[in-house]
Chain A
Amino acid sequence: MYVIVAGGGKVGANVTRSLVEMGHEITLIEERPDRFARLEEEFGPVVLRGDATEISVLERAGIARPPELLLAVTGDDEDNLVISQIGKEGYRVPKAIARVNDPRNQAHFDLLGIKQTVCATTSILGLVEHEVPEHGLVRLLQLPEEGLQIVEVQIEPKSPVAGSRVGGLTLPEGSRLISVFRHGRTELVEPSTVMRPGDQVLAVVSDDSASALRSALLGA
């Protein structure tokens, strides 16, 4: 597949290395002369020197073909947004993935229609939440297109649902319990499943209902 990588910092360079090893056709765009020289030494002619937010540079990189995938992974969120918009809206690139450097800018990416984003800070915080159970609801996976998330909840002795059958619970609309992990095994949730303290419950929930689900399972 043909991939354009915009930005040759740590992320861009490492992604390029892996994609080249996998046999994909790549163009990597980097503006800074020092970085460009180093990248060109390693990757050869796949590296293009220029500002990837300039339409003429993207055209030289083959944006009009278009590539199957555009990765906007510079260190600047505004640049990543503009690169993604030019690719998707101007050249019908089927898939653009943008790096979010500052998680506070995530809302701007969502607002401007750049659905697929990667944010290292948010990922690390997600892992921290996974390790720190008092946060209650651990978000394992976000599905922005569907407005759904897969979450994990640990049932506590004082949880209002402890000791109850799932079939008898009133859960918020837009939520389903998927599975329970207990004693080293995972079981799919049935109406007859009884919630026990210590159970790790996986659930799918709409973004709007996440906090209601948290209250239903863990109390206020």
Chain B
Amino acid sequence: MNAVVIGCGRVGSAVAKGLVADGWDVTVLDESEDALVRLGPNWRGGFVIGHGMDAKVLERAGIAEADAAVVATSGDNTNVVIGQVLQRRYGTRTVVVRVLDPARATFYAERGLNTVCPTQTAISVLLETVQASVPTPQAS
């Protein structure tokens, strides 16, 4: 199975390594060659330098043959635009998009994009942890 990971930051690089460990053929795409360091010295997947908005770059990364794509650049808007392009233009079966802003994550999730919002997850976990550890304060 082929996967393309767009954006090689903390999240993208870790997802890419995890997919390789699971036996996927992974190509990572990032604007900066420096990002390759995050994949470690034993990286055996592909690496393409360029912007994910650029169709030529996407195609060089093998998007046409990809079974799955993870979009996790540092820009929410870049991610939702690339995610929609992958779904509509390339018909990529599984597209997962990282969106930090909960409102935009919900907006695009309602429109058929598979969004993951770490901010929302953090909010929920923090809230639940506090709620579980102390008795609910009484309103005075």
In contact, A78 and B81 (Cβ under 8 angstroms): yes
Using CB atoms, name the residue of chain B closest to A80.
Answer: B77
Q: List 8 A-B contacts (CB under 8 A).
A: A53-B77, A55-B103, A78-B81, A81-B77, A81-B81, A104-B53, A108-B53, A108-B85
The 4 tightest CB contacts between A and B, nearest first, are A78-B77, A55-B103, A82-B77, A78-B78
With both beta carbons as reference points, the residue of chain A lying nearest to B104 in the complex is identified as A55
- Assess whether A78 is in contact with B53, with CB atoms less than 8 Å apart: yes
Q: Are A82 and B53 in contact (CB under 8 A)?
A: no
Interface residues of A in 73-125 (CB under 8 A from B): 76-79, 81-82, 86, 89-90, 104-105, 107-108, 111-112
Within 8 A of A (CB), among B67-82: 75-78, 80-81
Q: Does A56 contact B (CB under 8 A)?
A: yes
Does A31 make an interface contact (CB < 8 A)? no
Looking across the interface, which residue of chain B has its beta carbon closest to that of A77? B53
**A-B interface contact total, Cβ < 8 Å:** 47
B112 to chain A, nearest CB (A): 11
How many residues of chain B get a CB closer than 8 Å to chain A's CBs? 18
B76 and A104 contact, CB distance less than 8 A: no
What class of interface size applies to chain A in its complex with B?
10 to 19
Complex partner residue of A111 from B77, B78, B88, B107, CB under 8 angstroms: B88
- The residues of A that contact B81 with a CB separation of less than 8 Å are 77-78, 81-82, 108, 112
Is there a chain B Cβ closer than 8 Å to A173's Cβ?
no
Nearest chain A CB to B26's CB is how many angstroms away? 24
Q: Which of B49-83 contact A (CB under 8 A)?
A: 53-55, 75-78, 80-81
CA gap between A111 and B55 in the complex, in Å:
12
- Secondary structure call for the B interface: helix
Nearest CB of B to A86, in Å: 6
Interface assignment of B93: CB less than 8 Å from any CB of chain A: no
Closest CB in chain B relative to A210 CB, distance in Å = 21
In the complex, chain B residues whose CB is within 8 Å of the CB of A76: 77
Docked Cα-Cα span, A90 to B109, in Å, equals: 12
Q: Known contacts being A77-B53, A89-B111, is A82 close to B80, with CB within 8 Å?
A: yes
Interchain CB contact under 8 A, A53 and B53: no
Task: Map CB proximity to A onto B88-111 as digits: 1 under 8 Å, 0 otherwise.
Answer: 110000000000010110010001
Beyond the given pairs A56-B103, A112-B81, 15 more chain A to chain B contacts, judged by CB atoms under 8 angstroms and listed by A's residue number, are A53-B76, A53-B77, A54-B101, A77-B81, A79-B77, A81-B81, A82-B80, A86-B107, A107-B55, A108-B85, A111-B84, A111-B85, A111-B88, A111-B89, A112-B88
Chain A residues within an 8 Å CB radius of B107: 55, 86, 90
Q: Kindly list chain A residues whose C-beta atoms are within 8 Å of the C-beta of B53.
A: 77-78, 104-105, 108
Note all chain A residues with C-beta closer than 8 A to B78.
78
> When chains A and B are docked, how far (Å) is the Cα of A95 from the Cα of B92?
30
Give the docked Cα–Cα distance between A55 and B88 (Å).
24
B-chain residues with CB within 8 Å of residue A54 when the two chains form the complex: 101, 103-104
Question: Which of B8-57 touch A at CB < 8 Å?
Answer: 53-55
Query: Which residues from chain A contact B88 at a C-beta distance below 8 Å?
Result: 111-112
CB distance from B92 to the nearest CB of A (A): 14
Contacts of B75 in A (CB 8 A): 78
With both chains docked as a complex, state the minimum distance between the C-beta of B38 and any C-beta of chain A, in angstroms: 23
A56 neighbours in B (Cβ, 8 Å): 103
